[in-house]
Amino acid sequence: MKPALSIVIPVYNSESTLQRLVDQLARLKIPGGKELILVNDGSRDASAETCMQLAKTSMFPITVVDLARNYGEHNAVLAGLHQVRGKHTIIMDDDFQNPPAEIARLLQHAQKTNCDVVYTYYDGKKHSLWRNFGSWLTNRMADFVLDKPKGLYLSSFKCLNALVVQEIIKYRGPFPYIDGLILQVSRKINSILVAHSPRMEGKSGYTLRKLLRLWMSMLVNFSIMPLRVSTLLGIGLAIVGFLDVLEVVWETLTYHTPAGWASLMAVFLVFSGIQLIMLGLVGEYLGRIYLTVNSKPQFTVRRLCHSKKR
């Protein structure tokens, strides 16, 4: 029998908190039942073994997906979505910043509003300053690139119905961005205010490199807006260049002023830099197309374990 709720949690270096997290999830009363999917995303500690042990001793259904290496949060979430069976699926982090007690409220809100997706938002976030800035910038970029609903906060703690999950897992590209996939499937989206707690232990696995990779996935994989901006920028610069030519001709005929080496080099460097940026952008698109055509994997599952209660 399919449960009412599936909970997907990407796990990374969380062996010390997993037991407490699963214990709290086990105590949740969900009408229709629940299941948990733990995706070990190449953790360097004993998270994989801890997940396996929890699945063996759990009093409710747990599936453990152990990935062969670290693929990143969105790839790990996608690996978990391939295993869900619930009518609704909640995606959350493993660090207790999304309190398990808020899960029932989030599910009830999704069922009451009958929306395809319900995101959460917070009065105050307990992330570090740079992480909050990165999150803010990601949402502003999504406003521009993904044309997301105005004011919607793209949080990692969200609830999806079965329709959205089934459409998302059809994606075969090696660079998934879950929120981009959601916005491609549906705009029947709602949101709910929830609590946000300080991280219980350790530090965030997000680095500047990972944030940059996330932004590139958003920009290049789910929109051609950067190419359109490059085209408009090229047209604008061509117009400016043409006007500069007219100005130089006029000054030469009127004042007999010779062309200056400094101004010539400045213009040359500016235009050359812009051309290289545009070529790099086109190269990024082509590179990702090449990797997709050559079937670069989204993830590789080393082990898959189901608890006896499944």
- Spatial contact of 12 and 202, defined as CB atoms under 8 Å apart: no
Distance CA 208, CA 210 (A): 5
Bigger pLDDT: 91 vs 238 = 91
% of the chain residues with pLDDT over 90: 47
* Average per-residue pLDDT for the chain: 83
Most trustworthy range by pLDDT among 124-128, 155-159, 249-253: 155-159
pLDDT at 62: 96
Q: How would residue 244 be classed by pLDDT, with cut points 50, 70 and 90? A: low
What is the Cα–Cα distance from 203 to 201, expressed in whole angstroms? 7
Quote the pLDDT of residue 64: 97
**Is 160 a residue whose pLDDT tops 60?**
yes
Is the pLDDT assigned to residue 189 strictly greater than 90? yes
Record the tokens describing residue 298, joined without a space.
């989204």
Predicted pLDDT at 245: 63
pTM: 0.78
User: CB within 8 A of 212, min separation 6: which ones?
Assistant: none
CA distance 29 to 185: 30
Helix/strand/coil (H/E/C) assignment for every residue in the chain: CCCCEEEEEEECCCHHHHHHHHHHHHCCCCCCCEEEEEEECCCCCCHHHHHHHHHHHCCCCEEEEEECCCCCHHHHHHHHHCCCCCCEEEECCCCCCCCHHHHHHHHHHHHHHCCCEEEEECCCCCCCHHHHHHHHHHHHHHHHHCCCCCCCCCCCCEEEEHHHHHHHCCCCCCCCCHHHHHHHHCCCEEEEECCCCCCCCCCCCCCHHHHHHHHHHHHHHCCCHHHHHHHHHHHHHHHHHHHHHHHHHHHHHHHCCCCCHHHHHHHHHHHHHHHHHHHHHHHHHHHHHHHHHCCCCCCCEEEEEECCCC
Within 13 Å of residue 42, how many CA atoms lie on the same side as its CB? Answer: 11
pLDDT digits (tens, 9 = 90+) for 270-298: 676 677 777 777 777 787 787 777 778 99
Residue 80 amino acid letter: G
